[in-house]
Copies of this chain bind each other. A is one copy, B any other.
Amino acid sequence: MQVLKFGGSSVANSANIQKVTDIVASAIQKEPTVLVVSALGGITDLLLKTGALASQADETYKTVLKEMETRHLDAVRELLPIQQQSATLSLVKQQFNELDGIYDGVFLLGELSPRTKDRIVSYGELLSSMMISAKFQSLNIDQLWVDSRKCITTNSNHGNAAVDFAATEKNIQSHFAQKPHQLYVVPGFIASDVNNNTTTLGRGGSDYTAAIFASAVRASALEIWTDVSGMMTADPRLVQNAKPISRISYQEAMELSHFGAKIIYPPTIQPVMSRNIPVWVKNTFAPNEYGTLIENNSAVTDSFIRGISSISSISLLSLEGSGMIGIPGFSKRLFEALANESVNVILITQSSSEHSICVGINEVDSAKAKQTIDNVFSYEIQTGKVEPLKVESGLSIVALVGEQMKSHPGVSGKMFGALGKNGINVRAIAQGSSEKNISAVLSAFDVKKAINVLHEEFFETSYK
């Protein structure tokens, strides 16, 4: 058994779905396949937008809903032979009737609750999976549409529900224990709680669905089909020469995931990694390209740097003061204050002098971080032991990633040498003992230059 997952751009329209059909038709020659699909590209956002309109008593929601219906009906007409369209057309219409009722309810109540939002958004994957299921049916492929809401059990935290893995694995296995099929078509992203209310899996949800099924059926491989040919050595929007990465470890993939592109969201593939199931990232629109193979343990390759990641809109907080020397507890109070305000800590660095600690956070959190920390240390600030928190914004983090760095002294020298030679000022540095990642904080103005300099240094020269 293998699991293939196709994202929204891969199923954006009938032309694309045709490509998916070809890939899957070829895949099932090898072994039985679970096919997980996202909603048609753009549909999820439209469903939510329509809900927002309805809750604000804006009747144009009906127009948007009509357009969505038309788009799905057109796709059905393009995908299926004319004599096989009617059942699917009527199935699609039925879904839109249901949706229509829900939107009317939202309109009448002027309220869009998290529970209703999950119900609404689930139609995107329901529709796409039903249509694709019908497509394979029309090709006489032995396929079964599987309702993932009956398989994946979660808690009731609508919008970002937590999976009950024990129950879910049991559900899936009992589902697949019945008469086997060549192909199972599964809507991604959606699940249900113990009261049978529809829930959704949050960010990266369809990948998560795919990984959960792959883990439960002990799949031979999980393939994530997207619109790029795998993970890249750097953000291709910033670096013209960015190249695909052929093999990468799970750890490295996690380190690289901060990329703008965000091809995969690492926590979603955890279920397969813990079972050592290989993950491929492939391109629907260039299926012959190698793509990226994510393995649990990094194979030794000739290139020991895997890629360059970057995060923008960073603020650096600096807490300094001679009063901090040798007194345990400052760090705890600092991070407790940030945690209480739900400020996510992206980078920390405290060098050996012990009287200055530096924390990188998202720029949007900087005002509340400043306020809460100055408040927590108000006594020390008044008595001159600690200075008011310094906040610098307009920064970015650029990180070099690679598990084999560890055995290659000199990476940091080469990295900071290249930046220095190009006059790029580094505001803070952090490298942990796992040595999979060296992060440098820079002015946002220097990011593009820095990434290109580093890419040239590590990927475009013959340095080894």
A426 interface hit (Cβ, 8 Å): yes
Query: Provided the pairs A328-B338, A427-B433 are in contact, do residues A353 and B322 lie with their beta carbons within 8 angstroms?
Result: no
A194, B89: Cα distance in complex, Å? 46
Measured between beta carbons, the chain B residues less than 8 angstroms from A419 are: 409-410, 412-413
Chain A binding surface SS class: mixed
Q: Give, as a whole number of angstroms, the nearest-CB distance from A358 to chain B.
A: 4
Query: Provided the pairs A111-B116, A328-B344, A413-B418 are in contact, do residues A431 and B338 lie with their beta carbons within 8 angstroms?
Result: no
CB pair A352–B399 under 8 Å, yes or no, is yes
Which stretch (A26-34, A286-294, A437-445) binds chain B? A437-445
CB pair A267–B352 under 8 Å, yes or no, is no
Report the copy number of this chain in the oligomer: 4
Q: Give, as a whole number of angstroms, the nearest-CB distance from A244 to chain B.
A: 21
A104, B110: Cα distance in complex, Å? 12
Total interface residues on A, CB under 8 Å, equals 94
Measured between beta carbons, the chain B residues less than 8 angstroms from A318 are: 432-434
A311, B354: Cα distance in complex, Å? 12
Measured between beta carbons, the chain B residues less than 8 angstroms from A356 are: 432, 434, 436-437
A228 interface hit (Cβ, 8 Å): no
Measured between beta carbons, the chain B residues less than 8 angstroms from A347 are: 350-352
Contact partner of A332 (CB less than 8 A), chosen from B105, B332, B358, is B332
CB pair A339–B332 under 8 Å, yes or no, is yes
Contact partner of A424 (CB less than 8 A), chosen from B102, B255, B409, B438, is B409
CB pair A413–B420 under 8 Å, yes or no, is yes
Cβ-closest chain B residue relative to A426: B412
Measured between beta carbons, the chain B residues less than 8 angstroms from A274 are: 384
Contact partner of A331 (CB less than 8 A), chosen from B335, B418, B424, B429, is B335
Cβ-closest chain B residue relative to A334: B335
A147 interface hit (Cβ, 8 Å): no
CB pair B432–A431 under 8 Å, yes or no, is no
CB pair B352–A349 under 8 Å, yes or no, is no
CB pair B352–A258 under 8 Å, yes or no, is yes
CB pair B411–A420 under 8 Å, yes or no, is yes
Interface residues in A315-355 by Cβ distance below 8 A to B read 316, 318, 320, 322, 325-326, 328-329, 331-332, 334-336, 338-339, 342-355
A107 interface hit (Cβ, 8 Å): yes
A356, B328: Cα distance in complex, Å? 21
A298 interface hit (Cβ, 8 Å): no
Contact partner of A429 (CB less than 8 A), chosen from B109, B328, B342, B438, is B438
Query: Provided the pairs A105-B107, A254-B322, A354-B345 are in contact, do residues A417 and B427 lie with their beta carbons within 8 angstroms?
Result: no
Q: Give, as a whole number of angstroms, the nearest-CB distance from A119 to chain B.
A: 8
In the complex, which of the residues A309, A328, A413, A437 has the most CB atoms of chain B within 10 Å of its own CB atom?
Answer: A413
Measured between beta carbons, the chain B residues less than 8 angstroms from A329 are: 339
CB pair A429–B426 under 8 Å, yes or no, is no
In the complex, which of the residues A334, A351, A433, A435 has the most CB atoms of chain B within 10 Å of its own CB atom?
Answer: A351
CB pair B421–A410 under 8 Å, yes or no, is yes
Measured between beta carbons, the chain B residues less than 8 angstroms from A320 are: 434
CB pair B357–A350 under 8 Å, yes or no, is no
A414, B101: Cα distance in complex, Å? 67
A416 interface hit (Cβ, 8 Å): yes
A residues whose Cβ falls under 8 Å from a Cβ of B: 101-102, 104-109, 111, 113, 115-116, 119, 254-255, 257-258, 266-267, 270, 274, 309, 311, 316, 318, 320, 322, 325-326, 328-329, 331-332, 334-336, 338-339, 342-358, 360, 384, 390, 392, 397, 399, 401, 406, 409-421, 423-439, 441
With A102-B108, A270-B322, A328-B344 already in contact, 8 other A-B pairs whose C-beta atoms are closer than 8 Å:
A105-B106, A113-B113, A254-B353, A328-B342, A331-B339, A332-B335, A357-B432, A430-B430
